[in-house]
């Protein structure tokens, strides 16, 4: 009678070990996936910054061409650069550039904030998975422990132990 009980207990123990191993591997893979996603988000943030810098550079080049063209046209008309109408045109071009630059920076910050929020969500999801994974493992182990006195009595009798007082 003791052999089947011992075998069942050994099988149950082996099942717990295999469950632990599988959950450990699942947790490791989940963490690795979260790290890869974090790296992808960091690269997206860097790409966003580079893209914004490139757009700023292109706008600066366009502004300089525009100011150069304005200066050349005004000089051809005999208007001195930096005075009167020439100054007005230059100031308008510079102001438009500054507004565009501020909008580019705001858009870049909004995009970066959105990406960082995604990073936080990824980390929270990964931690929630870890908690659920190990809570389930613990619950499974606790549920396998017999809680009734009859179960302990039958186990002790299977191993040849006698009830105290008999």
- The predicted-structure confidence for 71-94, as pLDDT tens digits, reads as follows 888 888 887 777 777 788 888 888
Q: Give the residue with greater pLDDT, 88 vs 121.
A: 121
Tokens found for residue 29: 């893979």
Rounded to whole angstroms, the Cα distance separating 99 from 96 reads: 5
What mean pLDDT, rounded, does the chain reach?
84
Q: Give the confidence band of 121 by pLDDT, cuts at 50, 70, 90.
A: very high
Of these ranges, 75-84, 98-107, 144-153, the one predicted with the greatest mean pLDDT is: 98-107
Vertex 121, ends 120 and 126: CA angle to 5°?
100
Angle in degrees, 0-180, between the axes of helices 85-144 and 2-77, rounded to the nearest 10:
180
Which pTM value belongs to this model? 0.65
pLDDT value at 140 more than 50: yes
Query: So what's the pLDDT on residue 117?
Result: 94
Mean pLDDT, to the nearest integer, of 33-46? 92
Query: So what's the pLDDT on residue 1?
Result: 47
């Amino acid at each position: 009678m003791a052999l089947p009980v011992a075998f069942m207990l050994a099988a149950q123990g082996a099942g717990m070990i295999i469950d632990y191993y599988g959950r450990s591997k699942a947790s490791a893979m989940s963490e690795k996936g979260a790290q890869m996603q974090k790296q992808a988000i960091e690269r997206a943030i860097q790409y966003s910054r580079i893209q914004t810098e490139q757009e700023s550079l292109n706008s600066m080049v366009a502004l300089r061409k525009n100011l150069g063209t304005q200066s050349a046209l005004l000089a051809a008309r005999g208007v001195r650069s930096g005075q009167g109408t020439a100054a007005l045109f230059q100031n308008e071009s510079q102001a438009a550039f500054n507004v565009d630059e501020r909008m580019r920076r705001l858009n870049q910050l909004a995009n970066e904030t959105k990406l960082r929020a995604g990073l936080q969500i990824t980390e929270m999801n990964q931690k929630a998975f870890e908690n659920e994974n190990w809570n389930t493992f613990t619950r499974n182990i606790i549920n396998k422990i017999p809680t009734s006195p009859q179960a302990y009595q039958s186990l002790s009798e299977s191993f040849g132990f006698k009830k105290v007082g008999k």
